[in-house]
Chains A and B, each alone.
Chain A
Amino acid sequence: MELTVKDTEQNMDYWLQRPYLSEATRSIMQAQEVLIVPEEDLREYTTPLFPSNLMVLYDELKQYFKVEAAINDEDYHELSLNSKVHKYGKFVVIAVIVPTFVTVLGNYISDKLKHEDPKDEIQLDITVQGDQGQAKTVHFKGTADNFNKVAEKVKQIAREQEDEHRTDTAHAATTKK
């Protein structure tokens, strides 16, 4: 199992500035709770790519959140790798909705894999973005029954970022006085 956490600059603002996005796409990407972001420079293909069947997850997430993908509609392509690792993509999620997000995502994965081999691996990245734009990425590759470890880690990061914001706000209020 791989479960890593690292600081990242690839928050929502970063993805809004990607050069391949049209102004129309940037406009619909504004003020989202979840951004689904692509893999870039994968296999030397010139446009960014998403994992196979991500469209289905996009539809599912849209039922619960304000969600968009960082790609123009006409440039949306899925890469089918055909190994047995189930890739669920990369997400940037604002901290406050992380608990609900991991529940929805966990239920989706559980439903998709209920007729698959329990030894199959899943892979995904979740970037948690705090109020000030600070971001940390959790990368996971492992069996679905370990997804709870990802959920706990992501929720912990979200709590830390919210605590940081409260501390900063309290400090700013104290300083103003």
Chain B
Amino acid sequence: MIRMSRWFCVLLIWILIAPAVWARGVYQDPEDFISEVFSGKAPPPSLLQISEDEQKQIREILGHKLGAGRVRYWQHEDRTVWILEEIGKERPITVGLVVDKGKLELIKVLIFRESRGSEVRYPFFTDQFKGASLGEDGQLDRNIDGVSGATLSTRALTKLARLALYLHQQREQADVTGQTSPR
């Protein structure tokens, strides 16, 4: 037990003196992500109004309603960028998604606040989403293999990929009916 006590002391000192300067789980600022996607020339954001019918469909995707009645996005021609959040186990994961002509071009974990499962931020996982589109059943057109031990984070990112593709589709329809507005 003497060795255990000594070990506890070392750990305690480490915790106390560990520099508290890093921002845990912040891999890229969302604004920087948007700027990077558009090569430094980000267009002004637009807003997509979410109708009741769309909320029902979003509930099918996420398992719950979307908190906001409208969603901000950035668009240049047929390419849209979305900053979306979903809880894995306990805390929201902030994800940047790029959709081009109805297909996922990029999905990137920007802020990860969960205590487990941050491996989903690595390209070896997120590269699986490249080129994915929505099938008629509202599911992705491909299987996404999860990261072992990060089941809930995998689930959250898969839901956000489906949501971004769905919102991209709704934006195209809203452009016709005038339900989007510049901001």
- A is bound by B: no
